[in-house]
Structure 1
């Protein structure tokens, strides 16, 4: 029995679940405008596509690692393919989060799509776009832990099953508590800034980001408990 592989599998599974929460939250926000009957379908499609993209990228590990080589030089600073992808993904997250926060604050509910079908398809397209960014980050992290593809694929599959089981609960909880939705949008904006910084070559330890997110969530949960007790 290879205990090193077992340890890698356990740690990678846990890490993939933690990293995948960002993906689940963003998908929950994206499907929020859809009719109730279509929300769960969109969540499942989005998460399954995320898993398939992760597995597909694993078989192109050499290509992914090659993206670290400079593709573009601006004022003496080299940008690799990975940097450009992080920049594009971060800017997309910042735009989406800012637009959603604006709509929440102004109570504007603009119809972005011409029809019901168009709205669903457009949402899936957006989910695919963000899946690409999160998949890239996930694969890079996984390869850093172990180079055994079967272990990585198994860990990602189990993590995705956990997320599939919990995505509806997370989405429902966010919809029931509007302040949590605003907090989730703030998290998405923070992640976007982190990706932009990473793309610009400024490394920000993710531990600080996740600590800030955990602390903010803890404070908001305390607020929910206080409001619930006062409402009785």
Structure 2
């Protein structure tokens, strides 16, 4: 194993850790609605499934790059996910029971696929066309993401208001995806003020939507 291979491998691991913070937040937000005993199952299986799918996408990154409006669609979907994750569940037990491990895993995997575009492109570039590097590097990141999500979940349980902070982080990621869309970037043209406006708008949109629907559910419970 040459030094270049080792260096590329380390680069993939670092890239995935740096860009994987959002994944830990999504996992924690999706799993906080589950009973305590089911959370570990959802975290582990959701993380592994998401990483496996990301490996497949990274290896086929050359095809992903050809999809038109990929970043635009991904940004919109991620905003939807961010809003959905901070809207509180109804206190009705029958409704709570409908949220299962499968639902949590589905949310984790879907969000990871949407957010994983940047990871896919960065890791594909660092791998130098070697699928073995992609598989090895992303596989090692699994325990890091799992433990990271557990730490975030620990804070969310004690400080529920942090769910809005987590959603804001996802909104910033969504804004970056929107800005990276060639159709939009040609108008922004690297202007920091425009990037700030787009990012702020995404955060405000997510928080307002989350607050609005949470307020409606609160009124229903108290009426």
TM-score, structure 1 normalization = 0.69
2:149 to 159, 163, 167: 167
Q: Does 1:92 align with 2:81?
A: no
Q: Give the equivalent residue in structure 1 for 2:220.
A: none
Which residue pairs with 2:163 in the alignment?
181
CA distance in 2, matches of 1:27, 1:61: 24
2:65 is paired with a residue whose SS is: helix
Distance 1:64 1:170 in 2: 30
CA contact (8 A) 1:89 1:130 kept: no
Structure 1 segment 1-232 matched on structure 2, within 5 A: 2-67=2-67, 80=68, 83-84=69-70, 86-101=71-86, 103=87, 109-110=89-90, 114=95, 116-146=97-127, 147-199=129-181, 200-202=183-185
Residue 179 of structure 1: how far off its partner (Å): 4.2
Distance 1:28 1:35 in 2: 13
Distance (Å, rounded) in 2 between the aligned partners of 1:155 and 1:88: 27
Residue 72 of structure 1 corresponds to which residue in structure 2?
none
Q: Distance in 2 between matches of 1:175 and 1:166?
A: 15
Distance 1:111 1:66, change over 3 A: farther
Change in 2 beyond 3 A, CA 1:159/1:100: closer
Gap runs ≥5 in structure 1:
68-79, 213-232
Partner of 1:75: none
Provide the C-alpha distance between the structure 1 equivalents of 2:99 and 2:166, rounded to a whole number of angstroms: 26
2:221 alignment counterpart: none
Shift in Å at residue 171 of structure 1? Answer: 1.4
Aligned-pair distance for 1:115? 6.0
Give unmatched runs, 5+ long, in structure 2. 200-223
Output the aligned Cα RMSD. Answer: 2.9
Post-superposition offset of 1:118: 4.7
1:99-143: CA deviation from partner (whole Å, max 9, x where unpaired) = 555x4xxxx542698462554333322222112123333221111
Count of residues paired in the alignment: 188
Q: Give the structure-2-normalised TM-score.
A: 0.71
